[in-house]
Structure 1
Amino acid sequence: MIKITLASGSPRRKELLASLGVDFEVRTKPIDESVGDAQPPHEAAQYLARLKAQAFEKDVQPHELIITADTVVIHDHKILGKPQNKAHAQQMLLALSGNTHEVVTGVCIYYQHKYEVFAETTQVVFKSLTTQEVNYYIEHYQPFDKAGAYGIQEWIGMVGIERIEGDYYNVVGLPLQKVYTRLKAIAPEIWG
């Protein structure tokens, strides 16, 4: 029987994976998540997802399937990470205001000594946000654990996003359709 491990501390990823109807446990290991300038922005999420999976390589249990993921926000060919403080969050959100950016989630599935690494990209279009809207969001939602300083499922997504092109769940943190398709191909017995 396959044991599924989600190697992510993200409560959003935990909720999303649970919604696929699979039993899993959460285990995390700290890794250095910095990516150098040599890493192309669109490849960073896959690189980090694989790095997170490699941290489990030495102590993976028999029949254990590891799922890792990393989400990056790319604006103006640069990665916007998690904001360091309120001023940094404000700077990020004002940069996204009135513009289109990309959200890339890289996923790695490690099973039976094989890595399956893939990514999903979603285009997100923000309306022009006022400084008051940005400050309200930061004060009430504290988006300091979110790439790009926002969560699409929160207030700012409801009032600020004009449209998206691509997978909504990808922006939340896990491209569910692709994850389901890959898991079903790798281990169809998961869904009996």
Structure 2
Amino acid sequence: MLKDYQLLLGSASPRRHELIYLMNLPYRIVKMRVDESYPLHLKGADIAEYLSRKKSMAYFKNLTDKEILVTADTIVWHKDEALEKPESRQNAIEMLHRLSNDWHQVFTGVTLAHLSLQTTFSVCTEVYFETLTDEEIEFYVDDYRPFDKAGAYGMQEWLGVVKVSKIKGSYTNVVGLPTAELYIQLRNFIRSIDSEND
């Protein structure tokens, strides 16, 4: 699928690196600094898509016609509010108390960019946490320090493994990249580039 193109992953996330690697897609990591603020009127999927496009535009001027850039952003959405990366230990604890014994949504927005074409899509997964005790929350925050994770948790870590009892949708989306949908979208994206160049 990528024989004519170099795939670039615009992300510092080790979880996204691992997922792309597991997809058996050859790729190269590119880094950029992006202000992750967004217009406050945006909600849910619109926030994740906006931020993935913002990350894409930060590197776009460096692309060549043989490169495809993938950027992504994941947010946790609970009761009409985005739970972003926690700013402190107390903030992380408060977030997890909010998620306890309830459903929340995880949105990942993904942007694919080539010099001749750009597309953005998002995937939503619903996640249910069983009741989290004070002791469990404090143990997780202190031992796993989830300060680089939206919603203050990693699905693939201890809290996700022992306390997420129900999930509706893509597991890898919660980890940080909806790999099945990305595979479909990337294949169609390359076909569209090729047809434009014919």
**TM bin (shorter chain):** over 0.9
Partner of 1:11: 14
Question: Structure 2 residue aligned with 1:24, among 24, 27, 36?
Answer: 27
Alpha-carbon separation, structure 2, partners of 1:104 and 1:181: 18
**Deviation string for 1:12-34 (max 9, x for gaps)?**
00000111111111012111101
TM-score normalised by the chain length of structure 2 = 0.92
In structure 1, runs of 5+ residues without a counterpart are none
Question: Structure 1 residue aligned with 2:144, among 117, 141, 149?
Answer: 141
1:140 to partner: Cα distance = 1.0
Q: Is residue 54 of structure 1 aligned with residue 57 of structure 2?
A: yes
Alpha-carbon separation, structure 1, partners of 2:45 and 2:111: 15
Partner of 1:80: 83
1:41 to partner: Cα distance = 2.9
Partner of 1:184: 187
Partner of 2:167: 164
Partner of 1:122: 125
Structure 2 counterpart of 1:48, one-letter code: L
Question: Structure 2 residue aligned with 1:106, among 100, 105, 109?
Answer: 109
- Structure 1 residues 28-39: aligned runs within 5 Å: 28-39=31-42
Count of aligned pairs:
188
Alpha-carbon separation, structure 1, partners of 2:45 and 2:27: 29
**Percent of residue pairs bearing the same amino acid type:** 38
1:113 to partner: Cα distance = 2.6
Structure 2 counterpart of 1:93, one-letter code: L
In structure 2, runs of 5+ residues without a counterpart are 192-198
1:95 to partner: Cα distance = 0.3
1:183 to partner: Cα distance = 1.1
Question: Structure 1 residue aligned with 2:95, among 74, 92, 104?
Answer: 92
SS in structure 1 of the partner of residue 108 of structure 2? strand
Structure 1 counterpart of 2:109, one-letter code: G
SS in structure 2 of the partner of residue 187 of structure 1? helix
Question: Structure 1 residue aligned with 2:74, among 67, 71, 75?
Answer: 71
Aligned Cα root-mean-square deviation (Å): 1.0
**Deviation string for 1:131-156 (max 9, x for gaps)?**
00001101111100000000010000
TM-score normalised by the chain length of structure 1 = 0.95
